[in-house]
Structures are given as structure tokens and as C-alpha cells.
């Protein structure tokens, strides 16, 4: 190699630069643990499943509720919930900045949920509560 004294240090520098974020994050444990409100015993799904799959669940809820008209979710325990970010999720997790934004900002994602679900705490969603929806003809 004619320019080995330049190429080899250049490759080493490039690899160090490319793997710096990986090495930095290896010792960095991401741990944000949202908690249920005191008056709630359970979430719609187990905690770890909600952490891992809440976006898929919300997408399924959106598709089933809006496109198919199926607005009731029944979990593995047989509990019924309205498929509603505003009425179901935000009724317990009322502080968006503390509950949602804290995790989303940490991992660098910007979900588009809030493009539509931008109700203030004193506003109510037009979707009925689960008791009415479950017994009221669906």
C-alpha cells in the first residue's frame, strides 16, 4: 500500500466515529417508568406489554374504531374499554407532559397522535364512556 500511513489511521478514525454512539449508549440504560394513578389497579394491558407495544395497540384501535366501527376493546381478563386515546388512556394518564412526552422526548420520537387528540382537560371527547357503549347497542 502506497499511502498506508494515511489510510489505516483514517479507517480507524472513521470506525471510532461511527461506533461512538453505540459505545456511548451501551452504558446508558433508558429507564422511564410511568406509573398508574393511585385509583387504578390495571391498565388495559400489562405494563411491559404497554411499554413495548402501545403504538401498535393505538394504531389497531384507530383502524378498528374509525374504519370498522368497533369501539370496544376486551383485554385478556375480560375487561372492556373504549378504544379511545382521549377517554381511555388520558382519563388515567392525565398529564401528557409527565406521562407521554417524557418518554417520547427521551427516545426522540414525535408521534402524530396529538395532531388530532389535542383536547384540553376541561373538554370531553364525543365518544361515549365504556359503560354506555357496551350496553347501548354495539
pLDDT (0 to 100) of residue 14:
95
Question: What is the number of residues in the chain?
Answer: 138
SS3 93: coil
For residue 133, pLDDT over 50 is answered with no
Domain segments of the chain: what residues?
42-96
Instruction: Tell me the pLDDT tens digit for each residue of 61-111.
Output: 999 998 999 999 999 999 999 998 888 888 888 788 888 888 888 888 888
Q: Of 44-48, 51-55, 68-72, 102-106, which range is least confident?
A: 102-106
SS3 81: strand
Amino acid at each position: 500500500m502506497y499511502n498506508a500511513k494515511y489510510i489505516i489511521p483514517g479507517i480507524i478514525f472513521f470506525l471510532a466515529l461511527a461506533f461512538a454512539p453505540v459505545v456511548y449508549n451501551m452504558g446508558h440504560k433508558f429507564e422511564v417508568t410511568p406509573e398508574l394513578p393511585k385509583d387504578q389497579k390495571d391498565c388495559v394491558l400489562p405494563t411491559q406489554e404497554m411499554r413495548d407495544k402501545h403504538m401498535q395497540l393505538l394504531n389497531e384501535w384507530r383502524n378498528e374504531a374509525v374504519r370498522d366501527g368497533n369501539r370496544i376493546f376486551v383485554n385478556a381478563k375480560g375487561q372492556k374499554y373504549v378504544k379511545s386515546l382521549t377517554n381511555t388512556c388520558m382519563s388515567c394518564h392525565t398529564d401528557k407532559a409527565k406521562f407521554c412526552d417524557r418518554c417520547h422526548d427521551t427516545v426522540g420520537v414525535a408521534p402524530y397522535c396529538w395532531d388530532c387528540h389535542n383536547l384540553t382537560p376541561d373538554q370531553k371527547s364525543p365518544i361515549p364512556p365504556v359503560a354506555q357503549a357496551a350496553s347501548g347497542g354495539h
